[in-house]
């Protein structure tokens, strides 16, 4: 099984997603990016392990590469 990577996305009030960082290998680093970007935008931040999209949020989303 391959190790999870993390994407950081911004979800605006309309539910549209903007990628901010992709395939980060360290969860702490992804969380730091999310923290910084959320502060810049004046919005909340979350780690989403499969929950529903939340508007006005910078989110860290775990992604799993496909098996070869």
User: If you write DSSP's letter for every residue of 34-59 in order, what string do you get?
Assistant: HHHHHHHHT-EEEE-SS----SSEEE
pTM: 0.82
Return the residue matching tokens 């009030």: 13
pLDDT of residue 68: 43
- Residue 52: CA count within 13 A, CB half-sphere: 3
Q: Sorting pLDDT into bands at 50, 70 and 90, what band is 52?
A: low
Give per-residue pLDDT as tens, 7-46: 999 999 898 999 999 999 999 999 999 999 999 999 987 7
Most confident range, picked from 13-17, 33-37, 56-60, 62-66 = 33-37
Q: How far is CA 11 from the centre of its chain?
A: 9
Return the residue matching tokens 């395939």: 23
pLDDT of residue 3: 82
């Amino acid at each position: 099984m391959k190790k999870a990577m993390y994407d950081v996305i911004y979800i605006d009030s309309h539910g549209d997603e903007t990628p901010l960082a992709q395939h980060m290998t360290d969860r702490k680093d992804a969380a730091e990016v999310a923290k910084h970007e959320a502060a810049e935008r004046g919005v909340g931040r979350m780690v989403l392990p499969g929950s529903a999209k939340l508007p006005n949020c910078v989110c860290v989303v775990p992604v799993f590469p496909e098996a070869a």
